[in-house]
Amino acid sequence: MRWAPVLFVAPLAVVMALGFVVPSVQSVLNSFHPNTPSGIDGAIWTLENYGKLVDSFYVGILGRTLRVSLTISAITAVLAYPVAIYIAGLSGRAQALFLLVYMTPWLVNAVVKAFGWALLLASNGIINRWLRAAEVIDVPLRLMFNETGIMIGLVHGHFVFVLLPLWAALSGLDSNLRWAAANLGARPWSIFWRITLPLTLPALLAGVIINFTLNMAAFATPALLGGARAPVVSYLAYETVLVDLNWPLGAAMAMVLLAITLALVLLSQWVAARGKRRVMFEGTR
Amino acid sequence: MILRVFNWLMIVFMLAPLALIVWMSFTPTAMFRLPVDNFSLRWYREAFNYPGFLNSFLLSARLALISGLLSSALAFFAAYGLVRYRIPGRAAREGLFMAPLLIPAVVFGVAMLQFVNGIGLYNSFWALVIAHTTIVTPYTIRTIHAQLRAVPEELELAAMNLGASHAATLWRITLPLCRRGVLAGFLLSFIISFAEVTVTIFMTGPAYQTLPIRIYNYLTDQVDPTVVAISAMLIGLSLALIVLLDRAGGLKTLRRK
């Protein structure tokens, strides 16, 4: 009986350890071995894979990945806020229905979504054909195979991860606070800036962090809507590993991606914790 | 009023790429045009004549079924252990089960390619099962854990008091009481596995292309409306599964967060 709890948890723990932790650790180790024509040389330890990444080509791609991922998160936050406010004020049934619609893109596979966007955004796609037929433009707009395409695809694909926490925070908000503020003469905008926004900021930040990590890691959407003309780290790692067959270099790229993602997540959590302390401290004064 | 209009615009944005695929799949021509007055099922026929399609569909379904069942079963036991007992290192273990959500999928994809090659499972079905089981586990454990916490321990104690063995209690009391959670966890894992691209693309050999990977390769190679029809069918299947999942209450546990 004393061992029962261990027996319940152990099978899944073993599967996760062997199927997830071991491969990940092995990949970390591989990134420190050189790639030779006959395979990975496990006897030699080296930093040469990471050294290769300090190069304007790779740094530029990493910079694009960060810039695009952050921009997507910012755009998503701005778009999700009004939607969350609107949905939180609806009846229970309507809330459930709208949330279901917003969840749908997440549960459809990324290749199909990207293909749908390609039909819309291509130079001979639906949007450009309509705009030309309406004589708004002469030359087709470049909406894909660049950063614009990646951003449109991922704002769409990862929208729900910001919307859900925001919606949960807003519907849990004590509406008396807003009534009290309005009663005391606050205008709608100042209620939003001084009551609603500060109280839902932790939820917004939580959603943005998840959104950001998913943007950094996305593969199919940037590969199909950005492609080789706007490569991001995941696309580059794919080419390096499966086309150039240089596994250690690809592993090093993955590690850089992982390190930056984790560092930014920890940093924002630290900022959030500090912010919360400050609010509490000022609140007691 | 402004919020309401904005919400509808966002709904259009969310559904536009999916709706356009379905609309375009009925085109009678080989062009990527939205059919207006002439609809046909021609590209659906082409889809079923395209040899890789059915194989990939069956592979994806088998993979999602097996990894979903495996993960749900193991997650049920693990969640039971976590809910009913004080286990040392509990935070570490919950972290272990949630790790696939935190680690970028590309990182795991690169790692899995090297791992399955190392153990001689490259280009095999079971390599995909291992990867997908770990990928869907955060979702199954969260859904089942949430449901199990709502099952009163008194019912189990009563059953055991009346002479039921621990195993019989689990099978006849606990499992039926949280069957909705298990079902929701399984459905969610099925959907996630069926849609998984990033990790899978790193480890699929030529013999085991799941449906999303098959479509990806098709898109980067040649494009004709056959792939529109296949995508439309996939969207239909996803929608059906999502409605089923919502009925099972699975989306509620995710929303609650």
| Residues on chain B touching A101 (C-beta within 8 angstroms) | 11, 14-15
pTM, rounded to two decimals? 0.88
Q: What is the CATH number of the domain that holds A220?
A: 1.10.3720.10
Nearest Cα residue in chain A from B256:
A168
> Which whole number is the average pLDDT over A14-42?
87
Q: Please state which of the four CATH numbers 1.20.1070.10, 1.10.3720.10, 2.40.110.20, 1.10.287.3240 is assigned to the domain occupying B40-256.
A: 1.10.3720.10
Inter-chain residue contact A23 with B191, CB threshold 8 Å: no
User: Which structure tokens are listed for A170?
Assistant: 């807003």
- Whether the pLDDT of residue B124 is over 50: the answer is yes
pLDDT in tens, B96-107: 888 888 888 889
Whether A11 is covered by a domain: the verdict is no
A34/A39 Cα distance (integer angstroms): 9
Nearest Cα residue in chain B from A169:
B256
% of chain A with per-residue pLDDT over 90: 46
> Chain B: nearest CA to A105, how far in angstroms?
7
- Whether the pLDDT of residue A283 is over 50: the answer is no
- Whether the pLDDT of residue B219 is over 90: the answer is no
* pLDDT score recorded for residue A285: 33
pLDDT in tens, A250-274: 999 999 999 988 888 888 778 777 7
Number of residues in chain A: 285
> Which whole number is the average pLDDT over A164-178?
85
Ordered by start, the domain boundaries in chain B are: 40-256
Q: Which of A78, A230, A238, A234 is nearest to A143 (CA)?
A: A230
Q: Which of A282, A274, A89, A239 is nearest to B106 (CA)?
A: A239
Q: How confident is the model at residue A2 (pLDDT cuts 50, 70, 90)?
A: low
H-helix or E-strand containing A35?
A: strand A35-36
Whether A26 is covered by a domain: the verdict is no
Nearest CB among A26, A103, A219 relative to B106 is that of A219
B139/B210 Cα distance (integer angstroms): 21
| Average of per-residue pLDDT values in chain A | 88
* pLDDT score recorded for residue A281: 47
pLDDT in tens, A81-100: 999 999 998 988 899 899 99
Q: Which of B110, B187, B228 to mutate to test the interface with A (most CBs of A within 10 A)?
A: B110
Using alpha carbons only, how large is chain A's radius of gyration in Å?
Answer: 24
Q: How confident is the model at residue A278 (pLDDT cuts 50, 70, 90)?
A: low
Inter-chain residue contact B75 with A12, CB threshold 8 Å: yes
> Chain B: nearest CA to A135, how far in angstroms?
19
ipTM value of the model?
0.88
Q: Which of B60, B4, B6, B1 is nearest to B215 (CA)?
A: B60
A248/A33 Cα distance (integer angstroms): 6
DSSP B179-234: HHHHHHHHHHHHHHHHH--HHHHHH--TT---HHHHHHHHHHH---HHHHHHHHHH
* pLDDT score recorded for residue A235: 93
Split into its structural domains, chain A has a count of 1
Which domain covers residue A252, as residue numbers? Answer: 47-284
Q: How confident is the model at residue B147 (pLDDT cuts 50, 70, 90)?
A: confident
B153/A270 Cα distance (integer angstroms): 38
Task: From residue B75, give the alpha-carbon distance in Å to each of A209, B142, B148, B187, B188.
Answer: 26, 9, 11, 14, 13
Whether A197 is covered by a domain: the verdict is yes
B92/B97 Cα distance (integer angstroms): 9
- The dihedral region occupied by A201, where left means phi > 0, alpha psi between -120 and 50, and beta the remainder, is alpha
Size of interface A-B (CB pairs under 8 A): 257
Q: A51-55, A278-282, B234-238: lowest mean pLDDT where?
A: A278-282
Lookup result for tokens 């849990």: A172
User: Which structure tokens are listed for A44?
Assistant: 């030699």
* pLDDT score recorded for residue A75: 98
pLDDT in tens, A37-54: 777 877 889 898 899 899
* pLDDT score recorded for residue B257: 43
pLDDT in tens, B48-93: 888 788 889 999 999 999 999 999 999 999 999 888 887 777 777 7
Whether A37 is covered by a domain: the verdict is no
Nearest Cα residue in chain A from B245:
A100
